[in-house]
Amino acid sequence: MTTGMLTVGEKVKQLRKSLKLSQIELASGICHQSLISHIEKGRTIPTVYVLNQIAIKLGVDMTYFLNVLSTENEYYISAFKSLVQLEVRNRNYENLKKLLESEQNNPLFNSTELQLFIKWHMGICIYYLDSDPVISIKVLKDSLDESLNNKSVTMTHVEMLNSLGIIYAEINDIQSAITIFKEALNTIKKLPVLLDKSIQLKVYYNYAKVLTRNNQLRESLRICEKGINLAIKIRSLVCLGELYYQIGYNYSFMNKKANAYDFYKIAKGIFIAERNDLMVKCIREKLKEFEKSNR
């Protein structure tokens, strides 16, 4: 670390003391007090999630700490990407945009892959913050085309296609969404290795949803089954409840109520385990409707 520059731990300690918080008070609801002690003494670097929670409690932006880590290139890039993904999961697109803009011209992000990562998320920001699907789609498609001219496909390409398909679905361009999700699945086949198979599960689920909307119910069932088989094979819960739910939803449209009921119940069990209260409530209401109609 550069001489004279405070470490992450020193900055945490400095802010904590200025707010007159004890280590126990800072750790409350985040981690054990001993971890705060190790961070402050420089014995460990916290995960992005923990560091983000500490930043929130200390009343500063996460970039306050990331700037300190800029000399630790690999960790800095990994921390940046993890924080971007966290903001997307939390649908905090304003923070996401600020984060992307703060690093857009950082020399650490000059590689084609990292520039693609930034452009992908800028496209998402344009859609959700500016409500401009036309520009968002253009940014995503242009970035994909540009990067494919320079190198072979990567997992980022698949993730960008998944985002593009979601946007097409949300603006009711179902045919374009179907085309994009097919392209995403074909792109997965071209990858030498798919390190994170959860993205394939997400594509299966999103593809199945638009097939249902296009009244291709049997094809949607087939895609859901492929997704479920993959999730079971890799022992993942990603989209598993959603895939079972989608099968039940398809069967309800096919007037196969008994089948729908069975798959809704499986989905409910998974959502209970995930503590997804919103989906549990939704399915309980559907199950009650089925039970009333069968009396």
Return the pLDDT at 67. Answer: 64
Q: Using alpha carbons only, what angle is made at residue 126 by residues 123 and 132, rounded to the nearest 5 degrees? A: 115
pLDDT, mean of residues 52-74: 75
| Predicted confidence band of residue 86 (pLDDT cuts 50, 70, 90) | confident
What lies within 8 Å, CB to CB, of 211 at 6+ separation is: 178, 217, 219, 220, 223
Return the pLDDT at 181. Answer: 98
Please determine, for residue 290, whether its predicted confidence score (pLDDT) is greater than 90: no
Contact 240, 204 (CB under 8 A): no
Return the pLDDT at 1. Answer: 39
Please determine, for residue 169, whether its predicted confidence score (pLDDT) is greater than 70: yes
Please state, in angstroms and as integers, the Cα–Cα distance from residue 17 to each residue in 14, 82, 281, following that order. Answer: 5, 28, 44
Please determine, for residue 45, whether its predicted confidence score (pLDDT) is greater than 90: no
| Predicted confidence band of residue 182 (pLDDT cuts 50, 70, 90) | very high
The angle that helices 73-89 and 112-130 make with each other, rounded to 10 degrees, is 20
Please determine, for residue 6, whether its predicted confidence score (pLDDT) is greater than 90: no
Mean pLDDT, the chain, integer: 89
* Helix (H) or strand (E) run with residue 66 in it: helix 63-66
- The per-residue pLDDT for range 192-243, each reduced to its tens digit, is 777 789 999 999 999 999 999 999 999 999 999 999 999 999 999 999 999 9
Contact 8, 51 (CB under 8 A): yes
Question: What is the rounded distance in angstroms from the CA atom of residue 147 to the CA atom of residue 36?
Answer: 42
Please determine, for residue 72, whether its predicted confidence score (pLDDT) is greater than 80: no
Please determine, for residue 89, whether its predicted confidence score (pLDDT) is greater than 80: yes
Return the pLDDT at 151. Answer: 64
Return the pLDDT at 71. Answer: 53
Please choose, from the candidates 236, 164, 169, the residue with its C-alpha nearest in 3D space to the C-alpha of residue 201: 236
Q: What is the pTM of this model?
A: 0.76
Contact 228, 239 (CB under 8 A): no
| Predicted confidence band of residue 68 (pLDDT cuts 50, 70, 90) | low
Q: Tell me the residue length of the chain.
A: 295
- The per-residue pLDDT for range 115-130, each reduced to its tens digit, is 889 999 999 999 999 9
Please determine, for residue 177, whether its predicted confidence score (pLDDT) is greater than 80: yes
Return the pLDDT at 4. Answer: 46
Contact 224, 236 (CB under 8 A): no
